[in-house]
């Protein structure tokens, strides 16, 4: 299971995901490998994406997205979700297993937007996450609602900080606290996580990860100027 935090703070987008993963051979349900260092945020030409749920369903969604984009014209995200769901079920996956929560950034009318697509048992929903607010991928009740409300309350736009680095540091602090408490409440969540921060009006982004001491380290900046900003490596 994956705990994703997807937030729009007005001038930045945050995408965070923990490192817990269970891998199994579909031909042998008894085989299972548990990992606590699995990276789940992927960079693409529109920023970043992450997801929780059925891996094959998630993979097919982004493959079909790419195919539709290559053809030109508009892209119907709900229709792509429905096609992927139908394909997984036709291939033998039970409807209750062919589910996923996907979060990804895309260009919008005024900079970049944060999209959330939920493929459930019987209903598929799509929305653009509005600022200032966050969504979480876990099943209802897995993480206390009060904890999620408190995280939302702590969100602040980047322009409220003296520097971009101060903003990154603050995001790291509230995310570290959130994942630490979440890991204590849920055994399939790790304290460690990765986070992608995207400046909405320019498309500049940086991918950060946690160190054991709770510090944040650059995993490779998407924009060279961001890399220079994080020249100290740990923030």
- Residue 110: the pLDDT is 85
- Residue 212: the pLDDT is 56
pLDDT tens string 115-167 = 999 999 999 999 999 999 999 997 656 788 889 999 999 999 999 999 999 99
β strands within the chain, DSSP E: 4-8, 12-18, 21-25, 28-35, 42-44, 47-53, 100-108, 111-119, 124-128, 133-136, 193-199, 205-210, 216-221
Instruction: Residue 186: name the closest of 133, 150, 140, 119 by CA.
Output: 140
- Residue 220: the pLDDT is 58
- Residue 228: the pLDDT is 34
Q: pTM for the full model?
A: 0.87
Q: Find the radius of gyration of the CA atoms of the chain.
A: 18
- Residue 85: the pLDDT is 96
Q: For the chain, which residues score pLDDT lower than 70? A: 1, 24-27, 29, 139-141, 211-216, 220-235
CA distance 94 to 89: 6
* DSSP 8-state secondary structure symbol assigned to residue 109: T
Instruction: Residue 179: name the closest of 149, 151, 221, 145 by CA.
Output: 151
- Residue 224: the pLDDT is 38
């Amino acid at each position: 299971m994956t705990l994703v935090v997807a937030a729009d703070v007005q001038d930045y987008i945050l995408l965070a995901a923990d490192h817990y993963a269970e891998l199994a051979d579909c031909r042998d349900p008894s085989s299972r490998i548990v990992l606590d260092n699995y990276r789940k945020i992927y960079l693409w030409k529109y920023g970043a994406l992450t997801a929780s749920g059925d891996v094959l369903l998630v993979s097919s969604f982004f493959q079909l997205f790419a195919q539709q984009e290559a053809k030109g014209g508009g892209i119907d995200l709900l229709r792509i979700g429905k096609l992927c769901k139908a394909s997984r079920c036709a291939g033998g996956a039970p409807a209750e297993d062919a589910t996923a929560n996907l979060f990804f950034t895309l260009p919008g009318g005024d900079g970049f937007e944060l999209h959330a697509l939920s493929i459930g048992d019987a209903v598929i929903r799509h929305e653009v996450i509005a600022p200032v607010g966050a969504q979480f991928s876990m099943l209802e009740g897995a993480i206390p609602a009060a904890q999620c409300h408190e995280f939302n309350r702590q969100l602040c736009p980047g322009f409220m900080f003296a520097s971009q680095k101060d903003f990154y540091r603050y995001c790291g602090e509230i995310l570290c606290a959130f994942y630490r408490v979440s890991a204590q409440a849920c055994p399939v969540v790790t304290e460690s996580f990765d986070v992608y921060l995207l400046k909405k009006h320019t498309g500049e982004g940086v991918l950060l990860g946690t160190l054991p001491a709770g510090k944040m380290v650059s995993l490779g900046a998407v924009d060279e100027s961001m890399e220079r900003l994080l020249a100290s490596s740990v923030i």
